[in-house]
A and B are shown apart, each in its own frame.
Chain A
Amino acid sequence: MNPAFDLTSWLFSLARGVAAGPMEQFEIVPIVPLSFGDGLDLSFTNASLWMLISLGTALLFFTWATRRSELVPGGAQGSAEVIYEFIAKMVRDTIGEDGRRFFPYIFTLFVFVFLANLLGLLPSTPGTPAALHTFTPTSHIIVTFTLAVLSVGIVVLYGLFKHGFAFLRLFVPSGVPVWLLPLITPIEIISFLSRPVSLSVRLFANMLAGHVVIKVFAGFVAVLIVSGGVLSAISILPLIGIVGVFILEFLVAFLQAFVFAILSCIYLQDALHPAH
């Protein structure tokens, strides 16, 4: 059999696969169907699977890293401690000492979002069913919105619990003339309500855009290679682009998890000190 022929047909099949559509990677595929009809669908999907994988990775890593606590930490314990101290410092700096009670929540939030972002960058194995392809749960707005609503829900509940109705002073900034209050208060309420939306849109849009860009560039490479001649030669350019974007995506995965956590901290600060 002629190996060159094999290579070409393989490239063609690759091009077909890669050019299938940049949005296909975000498709929710049920793994264990569990539908009750009437729009109630509790199927175990690839999104559920990858959220469990993120959770499992975090559990495994931190259990493994702290299995033998040593005074002089080794590599794994050292990295776990660095993450712990990084989040602890962030919580202390943004919320203050009394923000310590929120540390477990912020730490969990950061680690989960970071791992979901990061593990979504793993390559899929070609030829496996779509249900087993790498999936980024944080590229779906329902996931990020749920997390954001959780953060803002904690702010509201804790604020009301701690300050009672004085928490509503959050919507009445101090030092504003009384005649301006009918204008300022709705504005404050709208900016408060838009927090979970902008928090979730930011994370979801970053993840979605990054993955789409990588896939689109991959489509360029595949199409250029099979075009032949000079076009095949310049297919190296989008390939370099993919490498660049991919490296950038690691930074984005960390940065967006960090931004999500720190903005949650800033909002929680409101719950502790509603009067501004």
Chain B
Amino acid sequence: MVAQAEDVIPQRSPLMAFMARWLLTTNHKEIGTLYLWLSFTLFFIGGAMAMVIRLELFQPGIQFAEPLFYNQMVTMHGLIMVFGVVMPGFVGLANWQIPLMIGAPDMAMPRLNNFSFWILPFAFTLLLSSLFMEGGAPNFGWTFYAPLSTTYGPPSTDFFIIGVHMMGISSVLGAINVIVTIFNLRTPGMTLMKMPLFVWTWLITAFLLIMVMPVLAGVVTMMLTDRHFDTSFFSAAGGGDPLMFQHVFWFFGHPEVYILILPGFGIASQIIPTFARKRLFGYHSMVFASAAIAFLSFIVWGHHMFTAGMPVWVELSFMYATMLIAVPTGVKVFNWVATMWRGSMTFETPMLFALGFVILFTIGGFSGLMLALVPADFQYHDTFFVVAHFHYVLYPGAIFGTMAAVYYWIPKWTGNMYDERLGKIHFWTAVIAVNLTFFPMHFTGLAGMPRRIVDYSLQFADFNMVSSVGAALLGMTQVLFLYIVIKTIRGGAKASTRVWEGADGLEWTVPSPAPHHTFETPPAFPPIMDENESTSLNE
């Protein structure tokens, strides 16, 4: 890859060439790599903040973090993980894989692609710099409810607002690029209903992004004018309404949580058929279920606000719509199980992570269904039960999904197989740690522990200690993952073209590592898979 880059930019010092290559690259693979490393870097930063939180909650009393700093950690952990880790991680995967999976030479708008990425490091530098400002970083939770974030927000709130604007621009541009690429650059013969599921879920995700990121931009702009230009969108004293903030925020926020999970659904739908050596069961219903989830995500935002005081018929409408989401989500899980059924399965690391995803995400889905019931939500709302719920959805969903994807495709990216033994150790420690960390939170929540508190009464002490021990273990597994990734980049068993015995799709017809430029002419579709050539790690 370096050799080809030097072809493009000759006669420079190696350092300048390196800089220019990564700063100016318009290659979807390189930009994908940039996104993935940004995501991975921020994963460690956001994770370190989670460690501070769990360290403080290890025991009752104040030990490590003063209340105001604790609130900053809670806020930044959420913002970094949502906007800095999961979203860029998925965009990185989209950049690498969508052109490879639809037989396109690159993304449709390569320069825009470069621009979308390079906004992000600046956005997060801006956001993280607020930690060192007078008054500290934003401290009002990643949901930044007004008036805590407007009238009462620290001065650094403005940096947060501009940072969110920049992330939003990046996401919208990235989403436009994905949509244009998918609609225009598919190889002849690949109709929409023949696209791989990962491409389908990303297409739907991209539409969600385009529809809701401007809403987020709107709400932070209203905050900005409330803070500095004497408007009163969210202040009752001036005729506004703090509840309106929540309506607008969650109109963005609920589709956002599906933005954080849909590509994960796509990843599981790629991996499970490969390792079950059997076609995905119910392709059509998988596509329709994804679209149905996306549609429903726009009409359930009120379930975040059941205790905020809404008329009873509004609560009922949101409850019914929310419960309905269980149907397409269930269809997906059933289809995955049916794909496995009477297959011929092996359990390499990507498969393990995909199965971990399905099982643990389903547990998060169950608690989501419980939370949908308004009367019960009066008890669950704003407790650790909710924290358990969304970490079960996001960690095994988005993070396991991304990790499964990395293990699955890294042989294609690097040309090297990862260390299967370490991969399995990574998976099993991660599964144990995730459950140790997040399962007890169900119990503390049911017992009545509110979320986002720096200190708690003695009855919650035991389970919090278990959670903190689990979190420490979970933190260590990330270091192992980093080691595995670096080790794979530097060497390992050579990967074949098809890599996995049961793999199917265009990306498995290009050599490993994928050359700098692929599919300069559209490939044949459906692809002819090489039956003999694969690298199986379980032999």
Q: Do A and B bind each other?
A: no
Q: What is the interface of chain A, defined by CB distance below 8 A to chain B? A: none
Q: What is the interface of chain B, defined by CB distance below 8 A to chain A? A: none
